[in-house]
Amino acid sequence: MKTLKGNLWTAAAGAVLFSSTLFAQAPTTTAHGHVQNQAGQNVPSAIVEFTKDKTVAYKDAKMVVKVTADANGNYTAPGLTPGDYFVYVSLGDKHLDQLEVTIKPNTPDMVVDDDMSRAEFIAKLTPEEKKQLEEFKKKNADIVKSNSVIANLNNTLKQVRADLAAAAPTKGDVSKDVADMKQATDQKPEEPLLWLNYGDAAAAQGDHLAAADKANGKLATSDPDTMAMYDTAVTAYKTGIDKDAASKKPLPVQEAVGYGQMGNTLAKENKIPEATAAYESAAKADPTKGGLYYNNEAAVMLNASQSEAALAAADKAIAADPNRADAYYIKGQVLVQKATLDPKTQKLVAPPGCIEAYSKYLELEPNGKFAPSIKEVLAAFDQAQVTKFGGSKKK
C-alpha cells in the first residue's frame, strides 16, 4: 500500500507568550482531495477520516476529522494541525483504503487524493479481485464507447433534422444528410428511430430530385434516380417499423409515424394501393391520429381519381377527427361530381351531403385555402337550399 511520507515536524518546545492569559495557536491546514476506486471511478459519499493514533487499530483510533465526500468523490477536511496522520477511506461500513500523510507547519491547504487504481493498491488484490476488476474495466470501456457512439448519433440526428427543416421550403439538396443517416444506421442498426430518420432524409432528397425533374419538364416517376431515392426511403421506413415491432418495448406511435411517412412516399411513386395500405396501418397503430392518416389517404385517392375510395377514406377521417376541415373538403369534392341539373329550373342541384360537407369546412376554416373555391361552388347551387354557408335549410 502506497503511503505519503514526509519529514516529521517537531513542535517547538516552548510557546510564545503574548500575555499572561493568551497564547498563540498554530495555524491549521485544510486538506482537499478526491477519492476514486481501483477502476478509476469516483467514489460518491466516501467517508474520509484523519487520525494521529497510528499505533492502534482503526476501530480504536480517535479521529481528528471525519468528513463525507460529495457526489463526485471530492472532500474537504478542515482544522488539521501539523503532524503525521493515517487517512482512512470507507464506504458505508466497508473499509476501502488507508493512506499515510504528513502535514507540515504553515501549510494552509494540502491536496490528499486517494487513487485506488495505483499499482501498489492493485498489487494487494486477490487473484479473484483482479479478475473481477479486469472484467469490470472491459465492460465499462464498452459502455463508455457505446455512450460516445450514442452521443455522436444524437448530434447527427439533431443536425439532420435541422437540415431537413431548412431544406423543406425550397426542396434543397440534402444528400449529405442521407449519407450521414446511412452511416448512423450502420453504427447502430438495431435502433428504429435512426431508420425512420434515414427514411425522412431519403424522402427529402427524393423531393429535391423530383423538383429538379419538374423544372426540366420531366416526370419524376420516369426518373430512375428519383424513384431509387424514394425506394430507399420506403425501405428505411419499413426497416424502422420492423425493428420497433421486434424490440422489447415497441412504440406503436413511432410505428404509425413510419407507416404514415411511408404512405406519403409511396404516393409520390404513384404506388397507390401500397400507399393506401400504409395509411391504414398507420391509423391502426395509432388511432388517436387516425384523422390525419385517413385524411392523407383520402387526398391520395382523390388525386388518383379514385372517387369512391376517397369518399370512404374521408368519412373515416371525419369519424376519427370531426374537426379535420380538409376531410370535409375532400368529401365535398367527391360529392359535387354527382351534382345534377334540374330540368325545370335549369339550376344545379347538390347531391345529399355535399353542401353540408362544404359548409362544415367553412365553419372550421372560414379563411382556409379552399374557402374561396367552396364559396363559388355553393353560390352556383340553388340558394333556397341554404341560408348561409353553415348548411342549415330554410324553413
Question: What CA–CA distance (Å, rounded) separates 160 from 185?
Answer: 13
Q: Same domain for 279 and 160?
A: yes
Whose CA is closest to 229, among 184, 275, 277, 268?
A: 268
Residue 143's pLDDT band (boundaries 50, 70, 90)? low
Q: Same domain for 65 and 96?
A: yes
For every residue of 338-363, DSSP letters joined together read: T-EE-TTT--EEPPTTHHHHHHHHHH
Residue 140 within a domain = no
C-alpha R_g of the chain: 38
Q: Hey, what's the cell of 53?
A: 493514533
Query: Scanning the structure block, which residue is given the C-alpha cell 498554530?
Result: 26
Residue 152's pLDDT band (boundaries 50, 70, 90)? confident
Query: What does the pLDDT read at residue 146?
Result: 67
End-of-domain residue from the set 295, 321, 347 = 321
Residue 24's pLDDT band (boundaries 50, 70, 90)? low
Going by C-beta distance under 8 Å and a sequence separation of 6 or more, which residues neighbour residue 234?
A: 199, 262, 265, 266, 269
Could you tell me the residue range of the domain that residue 101 belongs to?
A: 29-129
Q: Is the pLDDT of residue 110 over 80?
A: yes
Cβ atoms of residues 291 and 324 within 8 Å: yes
Residue 16 within a domain = no
Q: What is the pLDDT of residues 52-96, one digit of tens each?
A: 999 999 999 999 999 999 999 999 999 999 999 999 999 998 999
pTM of the model: 0.65
Helix/strand/coil for 45: coil
Q: Hey, what's the cell of 357?
A: 360537407
The CATH number assigned to the domain holding 122 equals 2.60.40.1120
Phi, psi of 97 (to 5 degrees): -160, 165
Residue 303 within a domain = yes
Phi, psi of 12 (to 5 degrees): -65, 140
Beta strands in 56-120 (DSSP E): 63-68, 74-80, 83-91, 94-103, 109-111, 114-115
Residue 389's pLDDT band (boundaries 50, 70, 90)? very low
Q: Same domain for 190 and 314?
A: yes
Q: Same domain for 200 and 291?
A: yes
Cβ atoms of residues 87 and 49 within 8 Å: yes
